[in-house]
Every structure is written in C-alpha cells, then in structure tokens.
Structure 1
C-alpha cells in the first residue's frame, strides 16, 4: 500500500529551523526595545539661557541683602567705694614644736583600754558547740546539729527553674558563721554556677537563731561548713 503523503513535502523536517529563526527574530525585537532611547526637549534650557543677567543679579541682591545689626552702647556700671572700719581678726598660728616649757607626760599618766578581740573557734576544737533549736536535751549535740541541718536543707530546698532548663547541677561548698548571739553571720559559697550558689545561700539564710558556742565560759563565733548537692533526676 502506498503512503498518501509525499515525504519530500513533509513540513516537520524544517520545524526546528523555523523555530530557531523565530527565536532569533524575537530576541532582536527585544534587544531593540531595550536599547531604545528618548530625549527630552531642550526648550526649557534655551529659555533659561535667554534670561537677562541683570534681572537675575537684581533678584539675588534683593533676597540676600544683609541688614546691619544695631549696636547698643552699654555703659559700665557705676562703682561705689564704701569705707569699712571693721576690725580684721588675725588667726594666731601656734607652733607644735616642743620647747623647754612643754610638759611631757609619763607612761603612767596614760590610761590603757583593752579592746577584746573577736574570737573565732573551730567547730572541731570548741568546748561547747552551738545548739540547734530542738537539740537542747540531746546528749550528742553535734550529731543532733548535723541532723537538724540536713532536715532544714531538705525542707527549704528549691531547685531553680532556670538551672533545670540549663541542665546545671553539682555540689556547692558553703560556710557560715554562728555569731556570739546565735544569729547567722557571713555566708560563703562556691559552686559550679551562680544560680546554684544563690540558692544555697538562700537556704542558709533561713536558719533559725541558735544557742551560741562557748569556749572557756564565753560565747564565741563558730564557723560551720556544709556542702549542698544539686542533682537533676
């Protein structure tokens, strides 16, 4: 059976050539459109150039005319001289150097006042340790003191939320002073982060007033050290 179409007259053979030709034509038109330039009329430039120079100068002189400031004459104030008969008291300067008439005090004439030093006795060597409230009747007051301290820490312990979010944990070494009146004095702390240190100091600041420690029958300051551990579950 013979084909109905003539292969020599098939238009699809040259379709790619026609496509390339059309694409080049479109690109040429776009290039001409982008490179097209238009210029404004120079009529206003000519009008400005034809302006009379004398008119411009007159306008500038009127606009920038400088007014001279009025100078006011200022007269000096009248100076009055008044007589003052008041007497002037002279300051007498007394020499601090010793002379033959200077009285010299002997050592026996001086009163010596003894100022007692602040005594601080170590927790281990003190004769009578401070007594935590509730341990007055206990025989071993040291052990009772340690137990009551642990209870106080567990009762007032609050793990800082920000420290939990940051994943902070560790041991905070603390030391505080039990004053001669039984109050809590200076609190020192050292730990892995300031948030944990501040929480440890807050717990110790809530300690109750205690019976002060005694050394040779006298109330003394007693330092006490205890670690507080912060551990995430």
Structure 2
C-alpha cells in the first residue's frame, strides 16, 4: 500500500515563496550596509564630522579712481563804467538847429550816377550777342538755299538708305570768316564729314556785334540729309 501526502504537506510547493523571501532579506541587508558606510573624519577635538569641502575666499575691495573734474573756464569780467551825474551838476547838450531857425537856404546837390560800360575783349567768343551773325546773301533763307545747292549726298549712305539731321557748330570771326567747325550731333560718319565740308566752304558771314563792335560769335546750323 503506497503512502500518499496531502498537497499542503508537500514542501516543494512552497519553495519559490521561500526563495523570494531570501532574496528580499539579502537586498535589505545590503541596503543597510551601504547606508552606514559614509566617509567620515575625526578632527583634533575628537568629534566625528562629515567631510565637507569648505573654503573661505577673500574678495578684494576695489575702489574707483577718483576723477578730478576740470577747472571751470575763467570768465573775464566786463567792467562797465557807468558815470552818474548828480542833479546839481550840469551836462553838456548838443543842439541841432534847423534851416528855418538859421534862415539859410537848403542846397540840394545832384550827384550823377556813373555806370561802367562793358569792356569787350577781342578774344572772347560770345554765344548771345545784340546782333547775331548772318549769312551774307539772304540771311537764313539764303543759307538754306546754299546748303541745298552745295550738299553732295555720299554714295554709301545713299545706298544704305541712311538719312537724318547733322548739327554743326562753328565760330564766326570778327571779319566774318568761318573757323572751328565741328559736329556736335552726328548721324553717320559720311554724312557728318559732308556737313563739315559744306559749312567750311561757306563765304564770309556778316559778323555779330556787341555794343556796335564786331566780336567773335559761336553759331549752330542743322544740316538735313533726306532721300527723295
């Protein structure tokens, strides 16, 4: 006949529980041991003190340098001299007599005003004058006719269909001769050259005048090139 044990009497069933209790107990002892092991030191008085780092630092006192303010500017005193006259003293008075009191006639003098006349310098070139220079034969109309008869349309601009207005500037001397011919606004090198040639070959002009005196005068003429 086999012996049978009840499940409550079997100790193998309680083995995991006792194993867990053992682990907890060991951990508790280790925790208590770590708490008691602290770094301590014994001072000369026999007391147990904790090892705490302490250091006293002396902070030096800094003083701001004293700044000496600049001396105030010297003010020069103004000595006002005030003369006080007593009531008993007499002061000199200056009286101005009118012409009615003296009986003298009033004389009014006429002072002529002189105006300096403009001095005409011979070498100056005028832009605006009292009398403008003119083309000798017919003025402006004669100038246009002269340009129309003497201009020769260059071949290359004519073949290329180039046309436009060339502005030429020149100086009319006191004797009417034409000098310093130049193009101030061009269209084409060939057209510019032809305009300068025609202006340079013009006859002498009637010179411009300033205060009745012939002067050198600057003049501008537009030369138009237009294909028919």
Higher strand content, 1 or 2: 2
Q: Which has the larger radius of gyration?
A: 2
Higher helix content, 1 or 2: 1
Give TM class, smaller chain. 0.3 to 0.5
